[in-house]
Structure 1
Amino acid sequence: MITGTTQLLGVMGYPIEHSLSPVMHNAAIAALGIDYVYLPLLVSPENLAVAVAGCGAIGLQGFNVTIPHKQAIIPLLSEVSDLAQAIGAVNTVYRTAQGWGGTNTDVTGFLAPLLDFKKGRLEDGTAVILGNGGAARAVVAGCQQLNCAQIQVVGRNNEKLQAFLQSWEAPLSANLTVHTWDKLSALLPQADLLVNTTPIGMYPQLDASPLTAAEMAMLPAEAIAYDLIYRPRPTLFLQQAQAQGCMTLDGLEMLVQQGAAALSLWLQQDQRLQSDWRLQSDQQLQPQSVPVEIMRRSLLQQLG
């Protein structure tokens, strides 16, 4: 029930009607029994600055940022976390004394389903990343945290690839190389982790994949294939990898975990909730529990 004291959260993008974030966040809010609501915020690029100011004026507690605003919003923020600065993208915005602050929880989301493999094949392994857009930036940072020995980013435009490479600073630039698409046949046999960050294969392109069947056949059966797309499930890319005998992951868990990290951050800032959240020895409020499983189930139900 929305009341006169209901606190507002949301997700800002253009378009926004495809977003599943309101589904999972409102499911979590209901489970926690807190007086919040999470709304879709349709904001065109030319209206971004006025929308961010307006969110502050009407008292939003925080919001997520999705395509195409993750980079454009940075100059509008009073503070940006070190991680978000290094990646060059913000996906979570929170209140500060000076205005709005921004961070990036996409790395947390990307890493979540991979952590079980950190001590195994991925540490000191080779990651091949398809695409060099905004989503690839969080993946590069995540692969650095996994201690991948080689991080190879593959794209179709060499000028954009070189700009992507030059945009990184140490330590995130360590072990990072870029390659044009025609080099895939040499890269795929080395891959321990193959990540699709492109939109190829996203609904409604059910019969599309960034790789041909012949290219996917070059991937070792022991490799992990990870598609950031979560609709359809599975994508053709993951079907191709499954035919190779590879372990496969889609983007659903990344969506859940980045959302849970954002919700945790916002709720830690709510003075009304502090009696329900415990103060740790480092004097930082930590959530007793964000209902991750409920968030996950709500998405699975929505996706059918």
Structure 2
Amino acid sequence: MKKLFGVIGDPIAHSMSPIMHNDLFGYYDIDASYLPFHVHPTNLEEAIKGFKAIGAGGFNVTVPHKTAIIPHLDVIDPLASAIGAVNTVVNEEGLLTGYNTDGRGFVRAFTDRCISLTGKNVLIIGAGGAAKAIYFSMAEAGVKNIDICNRTLVKAEELVEACPYSVQSNLFEVEKAQKRIEEYDLVIQTTSIGMAPQFEETPLVFTNLKNDCIVTDIIYNPLKTRFLRNAEAMGASIFNGLDMFVYQGALAFEMWTGVFPGTERMKDMVLNQLGGSTC
């Protein structure tokens, strides 16, 4: 019998996950389909019960449900519980378990490129949900120094205090972080600043960077933000958010099927779907 998977959100029409996952099901000859489901927050509980009732294999969760879904699941993975957000649900014989593959996907994208995070001095820009997932996942992976730059320090302080893993952190406002930027081996931009259509906005201005610095932006539309263009002009190795999106999906696919899929194929699918909408 064909297995059902999907993604829930509000809105959901923009999601690129269905094309990506349905291509993988076909490529690996898995009898399954993946559909988008527009679920209003007031209908979330009923939607979860529906997935369980029909025996769906699992589903992804996007805004605004990543936190609200937690009380409706049977089991929460420790990392997802610490982050306070779920983006992947696995149904095992009627037991719904919630995971967060966002941050782990970010880390996996580096390790698959044979880029070690051990010993790296890291700066994360932003203190929202994406920053939290990346911060906790990197700490879980053993990164020992992760500083945070945010417009207001209160949210950054809350993020650090909530982390259950051992990690050293300094907190800076933007102006101070800009003066210290050359200390970092890895700079991670996690805010929405620079996302389409505000192409020319940037959260931080580079004045200097380490020679071997890696700079990444979790945005992938545009594929190269002003933030990344500025870093590239200073000689940094740059990565956009496509890897994080693809790898979080790949980890979910592996949880559902036992197969870790080809990420290059997944990237091609996303790029084809983006088409001419990037710049």
TM > 0.5 fold call: yes
Matches within 5 A, 1:13-32: 13-32=9-28
Q: Quote the residue 1:149 is aligned against.
A: 144
Structure 2 vs 1, CA of residues 59 and 149 (structure 1 numbering), >3 Å: closer, same or farther?
A: closer
In 2, Cα distance between the equivalents of 1:137 and 1:156? 15
Structural mapping, 1:156-167, within 5 Å: 156-167=151-162
Residue 203 (str. 1) matches residue 196 (str. 2):
yes
Q: 3-state SS of the aligned residue for 1:39? A: strand
Determine the C-alpha separation between the residues in 1 that align with 2:171 and 2:78. Answer: 24
C-alpha distance in 2, partners of 1:187/1:20? 37
SS at match of 1:203: coil
**What TM-score do the two structures reach when normalised by structure 1?**
0.83
Deviation track 1:151-178 (CA, whole Å, cap 9, x = no partner) reads: 0112222332222222222xx2421333
For normalisation by structure 2, the TM-score amounts to 0.90
CA-CA distance at 1:81 after TM superposition: 1.2
Q: Deviations over 1:4-57 (max 9, x none)?
A: x43211111222222211121111011122221111122233322222122222
Which structure 2 residue ranges, 5 or more long, are not aligned? none
Say if 1:246 and 1:145 are closer, same or farther in 2 by CA, change over 3 A: farther
> Displacement of 1:73 after TM fit?
1.4
Deviation per CA, 1:118-159: give whole Å up to 9, x if none.
Answer: 1xxx42221110111111122113332554331011222233
Q: What is the DSSP-based 3-state SS (H/G/I as helix, E as strand, rest coil) of the residue aligned with 1:201?
A: coil
C-alpha contact 1:153 1:176 (8 A) present in aligned 2: yes
**Residue 56 (structure 2) aligned to one of 52, 56, 60:** 60
1:110 lines up with 2:103 in the alignment: no
Q: Matched residue pairs, number?
A: 273
Residue in structure 1 matched with residue 77 of structure 2 by the alignment: 81
Could you report, residue by residue, the CA deviation over 1:183-216 in whole angstroms, capped at 9, with x for unpaired residues? 21243121111101111111222222212xxx21
Q: Residue in 2 aligned with 1:301?
A: 272
Task: Pick closer, same or farther for the CA change 1:302–1:98 going to 2, 3 Å.
Answer: closer
Q: For 1:112, what is the secondary structure of its paired residue?
A: helix
SS at match of 1:176: coil
Cα gap change, 1:117 to 1:34, in 2 (>3 Å): closer
d(CA) in 2 for partners of 1:142, 1:250: 18
1:235 aligns with 2:231: no
- Percent identical across equivalent pairs? 39
| RMSD (Å) for aligned C-alpha atoms | 1.9
Alignment deviations for residues 221-249 of structure 1 (CA, whole Å, 9 cap, x no partner): 32100111111111111111111110001
